[in-house]
Structure 1
């Protein structure tokens, strides 16, 4: 199955091994076989390629979904969002973050935050791959590489879940499970949270806490952002004290 927002920009729905998934069907002419998606598929178009069974090809299909509406934030490489975490720091043992992005750039800083004890959370595009960096303090960072060639101008879905040292990340429904570097089990982000870029990518704390570093801010469209700490939700409704939106 392929899906996308235009017929000329579609991606294949993949299984956990990043192989295009073949959905099982029934084995007779009347039974119903149901396939449930573990992660939502957001698309305007869905293309189904029926496979041969018993020497014949036949297809009856029903797709069940719901209406979809979203807000889109666009960044041009000069614009970014800065959220002041002084009055509402992110201090958590369990984290959930999900978002969708679309870009044709191979490099860019998408999300970045750090704390006073060396904690870090960063999502970057480096050489056309999505790089997730998480550090819980003590200088021990966990780096996860997700996908390749995600600078294809197609919407990609990202989900990140952490519980203490257990980290799971999904790119377009393909999971990657990682045991994080042990140190502290709580993340403490008390300074700032940047979305779409930052004023100076050469700041010392960026170099010191990230072994893989994007060379520019993102030229990207971003939507469907959500997190367990509600920071993103609050940004949609009001600007936290000390926060700002820079650029266009």
Structure 2
């Protein structure tokens, strides 16, 4: 579910309410992440009956929400009725076990583009690993990888022998935290917008080239060594990728439907030991049953008394 707003009330016919609370979310019910505000709290109620709405400045995609009372009625106890507003969304998830790669093969020998839009979400178990890679014979390449827990984008447009045209831009830290992170890469000629979790780095590529020329294929999850199946040049990605789009192409959807453009290298049905990663596959199978309809959920539950 993509949550866009929440609302609270106190307990009906009582002096119980919550005047401030913290909002946590999770897709496993075990590993939780806090919805960040400047003071880390959301203002709640001042009486049991009024409804207080809070529209999230940034929507969150999650399966579980947790409301943590911080302050409550001085003359009563904790009392909370909650409504959650949002929309279901369609999800396509692929699991990578650190030994696999997904290849998206072009219809022609090479693909030359002056404009690229690449988007995905990932959740990683390791601080190192290649998320995507493509390269061409004239020296062009694009690589997106985790390095020491940071997300690095390597981009080179032409100039085979020159290191001056190479770009490396990094964002984030501690990204092997088993939480979902959103990535968006937008390029037009030399202008690039690189976004991680809504934090954007704008930069301009070096060199004379305006187009990115990639030969044969793009690889996701690792960089396979040509002619040696199962051998990879750098450490592979270990985790999950969701809603992976390359210039409008839903790569994971093609893989699930076994389209000929997609080739799997050791991409087997995986069994994760940690439950926080098992949910990736379950979430994919469950989420695809939803349609893009909006809904709200309202529920009431008891909370511990003030001590």
- 1:165–1:181 contact (8 Å) kept in structure 2: yes
Kindly provide the CA deviation profile for residues 1-50 of structure 1, in whole angstroms up to 9, marking residues without a partner as x.
432213432223458xxx7877799xxx889774543xx52111234568
1:119-198 aligned at under 5 Å gives the runs 119-138=140-159, 139=162, 140-171=165-196, 173-183=197-207, 184-198=209-223
How many residues are aligned here? 228
Q: Is the 8 A contact 1:133 1:143 kept in 2?
A: yes
Confirm or deny: 8 A CA contact 2:191 2:205 kept in the other structure. Answer: no
Residues 30 and 43 (structure 1), Cα distance of their counterparts in 2 relative to 1, 3 Å cut: closer
Gap regions ≥5 residues in structure 1: 53-57, 204-213
1: CA distance between counterparts of 2:212 and 2:149?
A: 27
| TM-superposition CA deviations, 1:31-72 (whole Å, max 9, x none) | 9774543xx5211123456888xxxxx999754321234232
What TM-score do you get using the length of structure 2 for normalisation? 0.60
SS state at 1:91 partner = strand
Counterparts of 1:102 and 1:31, CA distance in 2 = 33
Give, in whole Å, the separation in 1 of the partners of 2:188 and 2:40. Answer: 28
- 2:130 corresponds in structure 1 to 109
Preserved CA contact (<8 Å) 1:74 1:222: yes
Whether contact under 8 Å (2:167, 2:206) holds in the other structure is: no
**SS at structure 2 position matched to 1:220:** strand
Alignment of 1:32-47 (within 5 A): 34-37=55-58, 40-47=59-66
- Deviation, 1:180, is 2.1
Deviates more, 1:68-77 or 1:140-149: 68-77
Tell me the equivalent position of 1:9. Answer: 31
Q: Per residue, is there more strand in 1 or in 2?
A: 2
Farther off after superposition, 231-240 or 142-151: 231-240
Asked whether the equivalents of residues 132 and 145 of structure 1 are also in contact (C-alpha less than 8 Å), the reply is yes
Aligned-residue Cα RMSD (Å) equals 3.7
8 Å CA contact 2:108, 2:216 repeated in 1: no
2:294 corresponds to: none
| CA distance 1:12–1:88, change in 2 (3 Å) | farther
